Structure 1
């Protein structure tokens, strides 16, 4: 008797994985049961991060692996790879699949809910999702074999990503007199870099591959970090000091204080990345510390300033040491 879960069973050993492996088959030639309307999306940290979209259909869960997650903008389609049907028990599954087993890695429940079917064929599936995090009309369409695409049919749900041009400080020889209106940070003298993160990936990893784990740690959260790659303790480290975009919301129009609070809330602290320290109002002590540590200078950032791509007088670079007067 043919079993709708034959492919699923063939890839798993019930004695080695905590995944549900039902004892009873789901007959492929039996009359299809009344279709339910449940769906689940699981965040799957396997060999590569992806999200598994599963839709209840004919007594099983029709499944797609979506490497970048569901698109938030109808202008961008995302790859969706058709995988084997999964058992209904997978609607609530989460846990650790042992390394070396098929799909080995951590699986968490990203969203659950119900859906409506507008169209279902062998090459096109059109649904309306009703979940806490995923909602709206989507269409999945086959492009080549197991490769499908998923397209959002509703208007965008997020702010567009900001232009990826850094804010640049003006150079001055003296610290600002109204120090209480500024935050003071070290000027690190490293490589300035903007790090856009989407779908657990970042283009910045092309130049700095060690940033891939940072991007993956964000999961489905979209962000744009501003900072510098500096050498600390003999290795490259990303020092982050601004946040331009966070979880679907552009922050470039927000004041420095709001962006800084959002950055600190990310708790970026690891061997290869960290949040740069910042000291509101502490002009002279920060400059002295920069001088003692051999850093090129300090940055004074107005507390009320938005993020302005390109040169801006709202940020001021002051060298650690005053320039020597010319000799007669």
Structure 2
């Protein structure tokens, strides 16, 4: 048995190569055993890390699909090494090639109450800004545990979206001068639509906030399967329903909410990274390609392919529902010649 609860943690990290806190061996800090943090971890596969303060460290579980929102579904929770208490405030980019390499973002923080803590069962109540409720963790096989929600589920499983409208772009005649500060996308036309996913269902709202229907948007019923994408997690996506080869395709270029969390304040670059990790690719939907740093090749390809315009989005841009701003620009493709 390890003499120090953080020995395994230290053995997997080089303090000279990672921005993570790596405290020296010594007495552990004392706390109140009531702090929790959930971190979104962009490692080889997107997942969430649940950490509960316990006896001077953060007991930790990696949860590939995040915390379950209803009592019908248990989610896998892989028990990992204890983390130092300082990790409760950590955000940053862990270098590729290092253990856990990738972006680490705080998803939620708050306090929790322990109802039971044994080797066979950890029962607790979370009080966070995004996640609240009563949960239980229990082991199944080695490091594999399961997490179960004990509270009733949200009413319909769909994330709130009444306050959301698609963010429009300003029209410009040419590419921005500081292209390294932007990501570039193709504007394929079609119907702008937010997709609200949850509970295996999907509904769409248009640029004016009104619901889209099969009568108003032909081919919409062919997108019903999108409700089970995003690993079955509740989400709000932004994109366009475009006609590609005579079939409707939902081209996704942003994600506004995911698994009870609001992503509007995150940068465009971070939202795109989250979207890409979800692997939302099917014959009826897919993420649009994006190209950070240089819009000239994108403009050339758009002209060669007959695409009408290119979008330039600042990498540090938040998502401003319904607000037109210089963060997002639409540049018409000039004719060849």
Normalising TM by the smaller chain, what interval?
0.5 to 0.7
Runs of 5+ unmatched residues, structure 2: 158-197, 205-213, 261-270, 289-306, 308-337
Change (3 A) 1:25 1:89: same
Residue matched to 1:95: 92
Alignment match, 1:195: 226
2:23 corresponds in structure 1 to 22
Runs of 4+ deviating beyond 2 Å? 24-27, 32-36, 160-167, 182-185, 191-194, 220-232, 236-241, 246-249, 266-274
Output one character per residue of 1:138-194: Cα deviation in whole Å (capped at 9) or x when no partner.
000011111000000000025144666999xxxxxxxxxxxxxx9966x689x7563
CA RMSD of aligned residues (A): 4.2
Is residue 54 of structure 2 the alignment partner of residue 57 of structure 1? yes
In 2 relative to 1, CA 192–58 (structure 1 residues): closer, same or farther, beyond 3 Å?
closer
- Distance, in Å, in 1 between the alignment partners of 2:127 and 2:56 is 20
Q: What is the total number of aligned residue pairs between the two structures? A: 215
Q: TM-score, normalised by structure 1?
A: 0.55
How far the C-alpha of 1:95 sits from its partner, in A, is 0.5
1:222 aligns with 2:223: no
Tell me, yes or no, if the aligned pair for 1:237 and 1:273 is still in contact at 8 Å.
no
C-alpha distance in 2 between matches for 1:164 and 1:229? 22
Which residue number corresponds to residue 46 of structure 1? 43
| Corresponding residue for residue 141 of structure 2 | 144
Counterpart of 1:121 (choices 79, 93, 118) is: 118
1:197–1:222 Cα contact (<8 Å) kept:
no
Aligned partner (choices 242, 257, 273) of residue 287 of structure 2: 273
Flag the 1:239–1:143 CA change in 2: closer, same or farther, 3 A: same
User: Which residue of structure 2 aligns with residue 69 of structure 1?
Assistant: 66
Q: Secondary structure at the match of 1:201?
A: helix
1:279-318 matches, cutoff 5 A: none
TM-score normalised per structure 2? 0.54
The answer for unaligned runs of 5 or more in structure 1 is 168-181, 203-219, 250-265, 275-292, 294-328
**CA pair 237-92 structure 1, distance change in 2 beyond 3 A:** farther
Q: Secondary structure of 2:153's match? A: coil
Question: 1: CA distance between counterparts of 2:200 and 2:145?
Answer: 30
2:11 match:
10
The superposition leaves residues 292-325 of structure 1 with CA deviations (integer Å, 9 ceiling, x where unpaired) of: x9xxxxxxxxxxxxxxxxxxxxxxxxxxxxxxxx
Q: Which residue of 2 aligns with 1:108?
A: 105
Q: Distance in 2 between matches of 1:153 and 1:19?
A: 33
**SS state at 1:86 partner:** strand
Indicate if the aligned counterparts of 1:229 and 1:237 stay in contact, CA closer than 8 A: yes
- In our comparison, the structure showing a higher alpha carbon Rg is 1
Q: Is the 8 A contact 1:42 1:51 kept in 2?
A: yes
Q: Aligned with 1:9: secondary structure?
A: helix
Distance verdict in 2 for CA 1:164–1:39, change over 3 Å: closer
Residues 201 and 228 of structure 1: is their aligned pair in 2 closer, same or farther, counting only changes over 3 Å? farther
Structure 1 residue 196, shift from structure 2 partner: 2.6
How far apart, CA to CA, are the structure 1 residues paired with 2:22 and 2:226? 41
- d(CA) in 2 for partners of 1:35 and 1:86? 16
Q: What are the within-5 Å matches in structure 2 for residues 156-175 of structure 1?
A: 156-160=153-157, 161=198
Counterpart selection for 2:250 from 239, 242, 245: 239
Q: Secondary structure at the match of 2:225?
A: strand
Aligned-pair CA distance for 1:122: 1.0
